Chains A and B, each alone.
Chain A
């Protein structure tokens, strides 16, 4: 079992089961991407989530990283061809938002 799965397993709330699955799928899709920026962003987001689950980072710190990454990602998305922009946005900005709004708050409660 991956460290990310271990972290997500700490969330027992059944109402976010779909969000957990979706988050894990998005992270795995991002890590397999050929674009270095998307790959790196997914790896970093995975690490931040694991660090929060281990109590090594606070919500404030996680939120700072996510909001900063959104600024970087907006530049990256804008640099992509129009057809690739939706996918790039989904794998960077939307995945980070999903983590910040549905995953990490419940992860902190579960600690």
Chain B
């Protein structure tokens, strides 16, 4: 038998509580931040599509510098989000990498056409919703 059972049990309880609190804090720090990052990427990507949708069948005035700056800014968001992901969850990194690839394809299309048809924009927004929401729903809060 243990000589001081109460002290032993108290120490054990404190240790268990400390580990539990540590695990909870980890979950709080990694879970939501990934979700927030994915939501921010989704918002930026959808806003980009909306920005370059043809209005009344005509392209808005084309500003190459503004376009390049916007693409660079969103590309950086994807790079930062990928870098922020730990190697412990490779699926998260792969998801962000694939989503960045989707964005680059859309940026290339806008660069070529200068504006997107309203039909394409509506279809693309559905596709982006399918992409980002799939990951957002899979990730627990």
Residues of A in contact with B (beta carbons under 8 Å apart): 37, 40-41, 44, 47-48, 51, 56-58, 60-61, 64-65, 67-69, 71-72, 75-76
Contact = CB atoms under 8 A, between A and B. Distances in A.
Nearest to B97: A71
Given A57-B120, A64-B105, A75 B94 contact: yes
A48 B123 contact: yes
A79 to B, nearest CB: 9
Given A57-B117, A67-B105, A75 B123 contact: no
Interface in B69-86: none
Interface string B106-141: 100100110011111001101100110010000000
A60 B27 CA distance: 43
A58 B117 CA distance: 8
B101 interface: yes
25 contacts: A37-B130, A37-B134, A40-B130, A44-B123, A44-B126, A47-B123, A57-B117, A58-B117, A61-B117, A61-B119, A61-B120, A64-B109, A65-B120, A65-B123, A65-B127, A67-B105, A68-B102, A68-B106, A68-B124, A71-B98, A71-B101, A72-B102, A72-B131, A75-B94, A75-B95
A51 to B, nearest CB: 5
The A interface is mostly helix, strand or loop, or mixed, namely helix
Contacts of A72: 98, 102, 127, 130-131, 134
A45 B124 CA distance: 11
Given A37-B134, A51-B119, A61-B120, A68 B105 contact: yes
Contacts of A60: 109, 112-113
Nearest to B131: A72
A46 B106 CA distance: 21
Contacts of A69: 127
Closest 7 CB pairs of A and B: A56-B119, A61-B120, A51-B119, A57-B119, A64-B109, A68-B102, A57-B120
The residue among A56, A58, A68, A69 with the most chain B CB atoms within 10 A of its own CB is A68
Contacts of B101: 71
Nearest to B126: A44
The residue among B101, B112, B123, B134 with the most chain A CB atoms within 10 A of its own CB is B123
